[in-house]
Amino acid sequence: MTQKKDGLLARVNFPLYTVQMLTSRHVLVGGGGGSSKTGVANGFEVFELSHNGEKFVAEEVIRHETGRCVVMNCATYSDSRHSYLVAGQESHCQLYRVKSELKSGEEVIETIGDDTTLRNRKEKTIKKEEVPNGLNKKLTFAFKAADSIQTDYNKEEPVQRVVRISKNGKIMATGGTDGIVRLWKFPSLEKYGELKVHTKEIDDIDFSLHDNYVVTIAKDGLGIVWDYIKKKQVTELKWSQPNGSKYLYKRSRFGPIEEDKGKSALYTLANPTGQPKKQKSYLQRWFPHENSLNKFVPIDESLAALAVRDDGRFVAVGTMFSGSVLLYIAFSLQKVLHIPAAHSMFVTGLEFLPVVSDQHTITSVSDAAVVSISVDNQLCIHSLPYRSSIPTWIAISVIVVTLFFTFLLCSYLGI
């Protein structure tokens, strides 16, 4: 791990394609060099994030290599008893059971295993005298490979491009180069159904927080919202594209509506297909329950990555050519942070640090923080400071002084 500039958390020795928050302070990144004999590893790494009072830092927890299979996409899920990771490895989806262990040095103090959720768990308090040799305890993870299923059947080059798990953990959706979205029971990975409407490669999938919605977008230009229980189309995302230009949806994410927590908004990235450097790209906010495009904002270059914070307050965007990261207020799509050239190449993934109730966690040091990855092998973080406000006593003092000088001026002028 090296640190050369603000925002850089870690550098790994393979290109990064996917990122997930494993817990509120553990981030998992995956990627690799592929099956060719280039000497570049394939796999994923987990880093523990912390804040030292001046900046965010990352410490490597575990590295898991996957042989000749590059990890192009992944998703995680935790409930009250189990934790899972699913990873796209070429034409297949690999299921991993995740166990967490509390260690002191090389000795395991406590095995948490499959019976405790990772993301929402509170670490057991262990007295110093209970820790062998007085060493500090550390949470680490073990990944046990379970079932692997083929999820894409393209005759020329079958590749899974995206995998998502529903918010209730019952359904998994996969999409790839054959254009078919396949639904699977989770975690048994039994086939549940197929959504067939796209004619080209699937680019993204996401499940809504509420309702039984799943959105699918593909290189055929279609964006479809489905009821995945009924396996029926709910609506197609249509908008008036400027100047007769053709646009393709690149990424899609659901997020809660901050002003109405019972409903979900849908955010999409749309890129022009011709002369992208001369045409605007768009960040869009939809209300699928109203079948309407609510807001949109133009951006000067092609867009590559998208994330929505779990409370629905912020949206993050990563760009293609400059490797920049932008942060927007979700409600208004007002830009509040711009990190130009955050990466030397295009941004491949974004993830917000989760919002949790414990104000002593690393999420409390800034208003928002998002991690970003790229094929430049770098894991970075970008934070939005809390908006500064004038103390009450200063505001009162300014008002009193202003009134005093106004009174003197009026007396001098005889008003």
Nearest to 260 by CA among 312, 205, 214, 211: 312
CA-wise closest residue to 94 among 84, 86, 105, 106 = 86
Asked if 214 and 233 touch (Cβ cutoff 8 Å), the reply is no
Phi/psi at 170 (nearest 5 deg)? -100, -25
Q: What is the pLDDT along the chain (415 residues), one digit of tens a residue?
A: 333 345 899 999 999 999 999 998 999 999 999 876 678 899 999 999 999 888 999 999 999 999 999 999 999 999 878 899 999 999 999 999 999 877 665 555 555 554 444 544 444 433 334 444 445 677 889 999 999 999 999 999 999 999 999 999 999 999 999 999 999 999 999 999 999 999 999 999 999 988 899 999 999 999 999 999 999 999 999 999 887 789 999 999 999 987 666 789 999 999 999 776 678 999 999 998 888 999 999 999 999 999 999 999 999 999 999 999 999 999 999 999 999 999 999 999 999 999 875 555 676 678 999 999 999 999 999 999 886 544 555 557 667 777 777 777 777 666 6
Domain ranges for the chain, please list them.
8-413
Taking phi first (over 0 means left), then psi (-120 to 50 degrees means alpha), and beta for anything else, what does residue 153 get?
alpha
pTM comes to 0.85
Regarding the domain delimited by 8-413, which CATH topology (the fold level of the hierarchy) does it fall under? Answer: Methylamine Dehydrogenase; Chain H (2.130.10)
Pairing relationship of beta strands 347-352 and 303-308 according to DSSP bridges? unpaired
SS3 for 118? coil
Contacts of 254 (CB under 8 A, 6+ apart): 206, 207, 208, 209, 213, 215, 264, 265, 266, 267, 308
Beta carbons within 8 Å of 283's beta carbon, 6+ residues apart: 267, 268, 269, 296, 297, 299, 303, 306, 315, 317, 328, 333
